[in-house]
Amino acid sequence: MNIEKKGTRCIDGLGRVVIPRDVRRTLGFESGVPVEFFVDNQTNSLIIRKYNSTCALCGSCKELIEFEGKQICKHCVGKISNLG
């Protein structure tokens, strides 16, 4: 694993941390991009990774629900509901 320190930030009173701009640009973390969190208990580390789940029908990453093992957005669910 190649780990490189990219800065230091403080956690605010609500538990928020600002990810430095150069890190966001490097990783493609734009505003509104969903992320997922992992904890490595052995190293007491937090890993933040882009969450790549998207709607199986349209590719959207907003308002997803799981249906029979597939992610489908609420918009597509609504469209399907209107078919019958």
Q: Show Cβ contacts of residue 6 under 8 Å, excluding neighbours closer than 6 positions.
A: 20, 22, 23
Q: Tell me what pLDDT residue 50 has.
A: 82
Q: Tell me what pLDDT residue 84 has.
A: 74
Q: Is residue 6 within 8 Å of 22, Cβ to Cβ?
A: yes
Consecutive H or E run containing 73: strand 70-73
| Parts of the chain with a pLDDT under 70 | 1
Domain boundaries defined on the chain: 1-52, 53-84
The number of beta carbons lying within 10 Å of the beta carbon of residue 64 is 20
Q: Tell me what pLDDT residue 1 has.
A: 66
Residue type for position 20: P
Q: Tell me what pLDDT residue 61 has.
A: 84
Percent of the chain residues topping a pLDDT of 70: 99
Q: Tell me what pLDDT residue 52 has.
A: 74
In the CATH hierarchy, which fold is given to the domain comprising 1-52? Pemi-like Protein 1; Chain: D (2.10.260)
Task: Output the CA angle 22-24-29, nearest 5 degrees.
Answer: 160
